[in-house]
Amino acid sequence: MLDIKNLHVTVGGKEILKGLTLSIQPGQVHAIMGPNGSGKSTLSFVLAGRSGYDVTEGSIIYNGEDLKAMATEDRAAKGVFLAMQYPVEIPGVTTMTFLKTALNSQRRKRGESDLDAIGVLKLVRAKAKELNVSEEMLKRALNVGFSGGEKKRLEILQMSIFEPKLAILDETDSGLDIDALRLVAEGVNALRSPERAMLVITHYQRLLDYIVPDRIHVLAKGRIVAEGGKELALELEAKGYEHIVGQAA
Amino acid sequence: MSSPAQLETKAQVAEIGDKYKYGFVTDIEMDMAPKGLSEETVRFISAKKNEPEWMLEWRLAAFRRWLSMKEPKWARVHYPQIDFQDAYYYAAPKNNPLKQSLNEVDPKLLETYNKLGIPLNEQMALAGVAVDAVFDSVSVATTFKEKLNEAGVIFCPFSEAIRDHPDLVKKYLGTVVPVTDNYYATLNSAVFSDGTFVFVPKGVRCPMELSTYFRINASETGQFERTLIIADADSFVSYLEGCTAPKRDENQLHAAVVELVALDHAEIKYSTVQNWYPGDENGKGGIYNFVTKRGDCRGDHSKISWTQVETGSAITWKYPSCILRGDHSVGEFYSIAIANNYQQADTGTKMIHLGANTKSRIISKGISAGKAQNTYRGLVSIYGKAKNARNYTQCDSLLIGGNCGAHTVPYIESRNPTARIEHEATTSKIAEDQLFYCLQRGIPQDEAVSLIVNGFCKEVLQQLPMEFAVEAQKLVGISLEGSVG
């Protein structure tokens, strides 16, 4: 599904990713762990197609296509979803309006017809219920005045509505207390499916207690320095990043 | 389903629609005044309209006054000196169309209407709105007349009002915007050619939205329309004007005057969707929109509300204002001003509190993109007798890109210690992370900008009559297309 080879990325002239190689199959959940500044968020932005993140070398193949050549919104329509660490606020635009606009934009790109207002409402309501997102939240302006937990739940709600093929979760655990974390993790787990790949980016091991990955990659200084199964997270927790990064260096 | 009134409008509007459609593609033979501005021009216009002597005298007095006046220079707009002798002051379509000239059509304008889905006129017919259409210097059609007559509402071209309702015109014309008011208002008083007249009698709630559709078509022609709306005691009227003009390389002058009078317990809601041609991407051409709009809350408990969506014109110089003369009267100003490319907008309002317990509310949303300059200029003035006057002002500016400017110039004067005046102002940018967020969710860039800007303008858009809110929302998006590189 996703094949990254020898990826080099610069941001503002500074090289952040320095030859990253990674491959994910459908149905798998991979975790990227790493210390601050290792390039975790850069990886998520490059995959999503944020401007200012320039690929200088290497390739990203997504379902047989060159992802780099695809416009940001086209990637979304083709199933790339990034649950953001800091979801943005858009004043004056209700959450429901935003969801409807986004959903129909994606559908149009795929050559599908628009879903009418009632269809969107039904779909959103059904999914919102599962994630404990209230009707009232959907009427408020997008992310404006939302708590940290509400923002992250809304990201997962969008993931559930858009049904992406590749879901990237960037530090979804940051800023959440343990109850909020559990709720979000349950939402994510419910979306695990044989057709869907997930890339979970996190600094801490605790998220992986709830979202158990098939594989863990440790990112440091722009490269994958260690890989393993879920037990690698426990080792990291016990010994710290320094130990593993140091060994690799 | 269709009432006779609706059928009438549909028929009328279909006719107008045709004329306008050919207005784009056909060179209509025009009846023009000789080029230039002189006493002769004023006499020519008055004679064309078979005006009574008093009207001609009124115009001539204005013209003589105008000769002694100077163009105002205080606004934050820049343009070359206007040669007032190098323009036509009267242009009316004759009925026999001449040769076709497809070059006349502004493809972008046609495209704009296509993007809007329906031509403005059809939309109004469907919504059951009464329309007066002003084409260059004359009113070409007024719809729904019969039904309005039944209610006692007078809604007619200005020239007709001079003929049929001279007493009303004499009583109110120039009482809100005096002939001597300012350079452009005085010019308008001398050469105004047509416009709309509305009178809503005592206790009548006007049964439908009234609307005027202004269009500048002829080349090198100024448009000087005059609108006068009077709401007698305990009456209500909602009025909307729409404006378009074809794309031309030259700058064309539009200097309108609008006067509103609200008597005791009367309410006037006046909405504008202004989409005059703004000039091209390099700032060539476009309308100079120098307009004087003022409402007089003459009666106690009266209310005047201005809502404007200003997306067009090369230069906008416009301050729809309220004189809160009656005790407990209320003035409102809701504005969206969008300036893209090389557009310049200097717009705002004046709230003049004369009566006791008067209230005013100003919500201004300025959006700047490209190399545009957008200024909010507003005056809140509380006079000595206006005890317990209250004002709330909120001015928000949104910047798109790094080459545009937003300026806020509030003037606040209070001569009464009981006054309460609040002023809030913000300036923000469409952030890169907002755009990225939208793109990541599959929303294309132009649509994302439109979404964010519409969110920013929401409080004002909500004030528009339902029938026009959707159109205005789309216009907001279209006028900013391609503004993020």
Per-residue pLDDT at B431 exceeds 90: no
| Other Cβ atoms within 10 Å of B449 Cβ, number | 25
pLDDT of residue B120: 38
- How confident is residue B116, by pLDDT bands cut at 50, 70 and 90? very low
pLDDT of residue A70: 96
Out of A58-67, B176-185, B237-246, least confident range: B237-246
pLDDT of residue B218: 57
At residue A176's C-alpha, the angle toward residues A185 and A196, to 5°, is 30
Q: How far does the CA of residue B448 sit from the closest CA of chain A (Å)?
A: 9
**Whether the Cβ atoms of residue B454 and residue B461 lie closer than 8 Å to each other:** yes
**Whether the Cβ atoms of residue B400 and residue B338 lie closer than 8 Å to each other:** no
The distance from CA B187 to its chain's CA centroid, rounded to whole angstroms, is 17
B252 versus B218: the higher-pLDDT residue is: B252
Identify all chain A residues contacting B443, using CB atoms and an 8 Å cutoff.
73, 101-102, 105
Residue B63's H or E segment, with its range, is helix B53-67
List the alpha helices (DSSP H) in A110-147. Answer: 117-130, 135-139
Which residues partner with A31 through β-bridges?
A: A200, A216
Query: Which token pair is B213?
Result: 């559709």
Check CB contact under 8 Å for B442 and A87. no
pLDDT of residue B361: 97
Per-residue pLDDT at B140 exceeds 50: no
- How confident is residue A21, by pLDDT bands cut at 50, 70 and 90? very high
Out of A147-151, A234-238, B354-358, least confident range: A234-238
Distance CA B116, CA B11 (A): 21
Check CB contact under 8 Å for B437 and A76. no
CB-closest option in B437, B444, B456 to A92: B456
Domain count along chain A: 1
Identify all chain A residues contacting B440, using CB atoms and an 8 Å cutoff.
48-50, 72-73, 75-76, 81-82, 84
- How confident is residue A84, by pLDDT bands cut at 50, 70 and 90? very high
Distance CA B343, CA A98 (A): 30
ipTM of the prediction greater than 0.90, yes or no: yes
Q: How far does the CA of residue A56 sit from the closest CA of chain B (Å)?
A: 21
Identify all chain A residues contacting B431, using CB atoms and an 8 Å cutoff.
88
**Whether the Cβ atoms of residue B158 and residue B192 lie closer than 8 Å to each other:** yes
Distance CA B432, CA B451 (A): 14
- Quote the percentage of chain B above a pLDDT of 70: 79
3-state SS assignment for residue B325: coil
Residues contacting B42, CB < 8 A, separation 6+? B56, B59, B60, B63, B190, B191
Sort strands B225-231 and B257-262 into parallel, antiparallel or unpaired: parallel
CB-closest option in B434, B438, B455 to A141: B455
Which residues partner with B414 through β-bridges?
A: B382
Q: Which residue of B has its CA nearest to A161?
A: B441
Highest mean pLDDT among A21-25, A132-136, B281-285: A21-25
pLDDT of residue B117: 35
Identify the contact set of chain B against chain A, taking CB-CB distances under 8 A: 431-434, 436-445, 447, 451-452, 454-459
Per-residue pLDDT at B121 exceeds 70: no
> What share of residues in chain A are helix, strand, coil (percent, to 5)?
40, 30, 30
Which residues partner with B393 through β-bridges?
A: B362, B423
Residue A130 has phi, psi (to 5 degrees) of -60, -30
The Cα-based distances of B215 to A74, B144, B458 in angstroms read 40, 20, 27
- How confident is residue B153, by pLDDT bands cut at 50, 70 and 90? very high
Per-residue pLDDT at B130 exceeds 60: no
CB-closest option in A73, A103, A141 to B439: A73
Check CB contact under 8 Å for B447 and A82. no
- Quote the percentage of chain A above a pLDDT of 90: 79
Token match 């994302």: residue? Answer: B448
Burial of B52 (0-12, 13-18, 19+ CB in 10 A): middle
Inform me whether the C-beta atom of residue A72 falls under 8 Å from chain B C-beta atoms: yes
Per the structure, the complete domain to which residue A197 belongs is given by 2-248
Inform me whether the C-beta atom of residue A41 falls under 8 Å from chain B C-beta atoms: no
CB-closest option in B432, B440, B452 to A90: B452
CATH code assigned at A164: 3.40.50.300
Q: Which residue of A has its CA nearest to B445?
A: A73
pLDDT of residue A248: 56
CB-closest option in B433, B442, B451 to A76: B442
Check CB contact under 8 Å for B440 and A72. yes
Check CB contact under 8 Å for B452 and A77. no
pLDDT of residue B243: 63
Per-residue pLDDT at B30 exceeds 80: no
Identify all chain A residues contacting B438, using CB atoms and an 8 Å cutoff.
90, 102
Could you tell me which of B335, B353, B204 has the C-alpha nearest to residue B266? B204
| Other Cβ atoms within 10 Å of B189 Cβ, number | 27
Distance CA B23, CA B119 (A): 13
Distance CA B283, CA B155 (A): 37
B275 versus A235: the higher-pLDDT residue is: A235
Distance CA A171, CA A40 (A): 9
Could you tell me which of B192, B255, B253, B188 has the C-alpha nearest to residue B221? B253
Out of B3-12, B148-157, B475-484, least confident range: B3-12
CB-closest option in A48, A86, A109 to B440: A48
Q: How far does the CA of residue A83 sit from the closest CA of chain B (Å)?
A: 10
B contact test, residue of A42, A67, A72 with most B CBs within 10 A: A72
Burial of B83 (0-12, 13-18, 19+ CB in 10 A): exposed
Q: How far does the CA of residue A228 sit from the closest CA of chain B (Å)?
A: 30
CB-closest option in A73, A82, A141 to B444: A73
A144 versus B131: the higher-pLDDT residue is: A144
Read out DSSP for B266-297? -EEEEEEEEE-----TTS-SEEEEEEEEEEEE
- How confident is residue A29, by pLDDT bands cut at 50, 70 and 90? very high
Could you tell me which of B267, B287, B291 has the C-alpha nearest to residue B277? B287
